[in-house]
Amino acid sequence: MSIKVGDKIPEATFKYVPYTPELENGLACGVPTSLSTNEWKGKKVVIVSVPGAFTPTCHVNHLPPFVQKYDEFKAKGVDVVAVVAANDPFVMSGWGRVEGLKDKILSLSDPDAEWSKKLGLSLDLTGAGLGLGVRTGRYALIIDDLVVKYVGAETGKDVSVSGVDAVLAKL
């Protein structure tokens, strides 16, 4: 069963590497820290979830428009924009640097897609032949004070209901 509008999000703690200027050096790795969903109490949050960092659709079509239109999210009162994937926090940090997220969009690791499983939005790519296993699905959420206001879960490979324009239209 998938999470729906009006549901409170399940609690989770993500690992991520906070952006610092030192990370601009490709040899720096940063230190992972934790972020609890409880920190989103009283905040408007946009989550974009992708099956994997550096994968073709996620890397080229899904995340870049969120970076390009970041200021539009802020103008609509969004406090936090985050990308979530099952990759480890170091990979997410490296991908965030390549995508130019800097300190704007958080790059959160959902190991083993545990949070996405609680949402009913994980994706089993075990048989895809690429060694991907269980991943975070392709979806977007708008959360306000820990309550879901929008769920855009993709059923195919396209980016439509989880894409930037669909999410902006729901704010």
Question: Residue 100 and residue 94: Cα distance in Å, rounded?
Answer: 10
Q: By the 8 A CB rule, do 126 and 120 touch?
A: no
Structure tokens at 52: 């994997």
29 in active site: no
Question: Residue 171 and residue 11: Cα distance in Å, rounded?
Answer: 23
Identify the residue whose tokens are 């200027």.
Answer: 21
Question: Residue 20 and residue 122: Cα distance in Å, rounded?
Answer: 30
Query: How distant is the alpha carbon of residue 69 from its chain centre?
Result: 15
Q: By the 8 A CB rule, do 46 and 81 touch?
A: yes
- Which is catalytic among the residues 35, 58, 82, 123? 58
**Per-residue DSSP letter, 169:** H
Q: How far apart are the first and last CA of the chain?
A: 25
What phi and psi values does residue 29 have, to the nearest 5 degrees? -115, -30
- Positions marked catalytic: 58
